[in-house]
Amino acid sequence: MRAVHDSGSDGTQAVLIGREQELQRLSAAAGEAAIGNGSLLMLAGEAGVGKTSLAAAAAEQAAQRSQAIVMRGAAGQDTTPAYGSMVAALRSRLRSDPDALADCGPMLPHLALLMPELGEPASHTDQATLFEAIRAALELITTERAAIVILDDLQWSDGATLDLLSFLAAPLRQLSVLVIGIYRSDESDRMHSMRRFRTEGRRNDGAGAPSRTSAARSVVRSRSNGARTISAPSLRRTSVRKRRIECMRSDSSER
């Protein structure tokens, strides 16, 4: 077993033990996003198994290789507003480029309903328009460079965010965006929205999204057709039990 060394932006090195295959898969997905073939990829595993570090390492590699933009957001354990993790990711981009969304055109007032700092909000909207506004924002951000969007702690996410991810699975295939969703598999079963997200996925031939979109096909162990589960041991001083990180790739088609 080899250690994967990732050089961080501050010059320090993080070491990922036994995660070569998962990192290669994330890196391959990031490479596809760089040429306009984006995707939604979900990382699932127990708390402390290294999901966030793995995603961060892949994002850092993409930033070094192709100058990919890295955006991060996370759901909160106590309260998470609608679309909270995605809004946090978009705001992480605005912190480095305050005008990144200025050219969203007619979609900007709808984004302003979620992000008041963008200006005058629309007088009304609906879910479909909000979804399209977020898709347009991602497209605008990646006009010149690809983006890696890391959404962490989705086991605490609101249902609206999971519905958004279901919607995005198909249009991401035409964008230079890799969305990496991370959730704790040992807690998600207690969260209604994530439980529905996973259950509907298995019910729809492995689709990792609510059935009304049927957009994402996830790799969930060997139960899905054509499943390709990646797992690796997590080395800990106090335990020799092998712990998994599941790497679930959307395999979308046109809706």
Ramachandran region of residue 210, left (φ > 0), alpha (ψ -120 to 50) or beta? beta
Domain regions of the chain by residue span: 20-249
Residues 6+ away with beta carbon under 8 Å from 236: none
Task: Return the pLDDT at 250.
Answer: 60
Q: What is the mean pLDDT of residues 99-119?
A: 97
- Domain 20-249 coded CATH 3.40.50.300: yes
Query: Which residue type does 113 have?
Result: L
Which range, of 89-93, 149-153, 182-186, 225-229, averages the lowest pLDDT? 225-229
pLDDT digits (tens, 9 = 90+) for 22-53: 899 999 999 999 999 999 999 988 888 889 99
End-to-end CA distance of the chain: 42
Question: Which range, 8-22, 127-141, 153-167, 215-229, is most confident?
Answer: 127-141
Query: In a 10 Å sphere around its CB, with 0-12 CB exposed, 13-18 middle and 19+ buried, how is residue 123 labelled?
Result: exposed
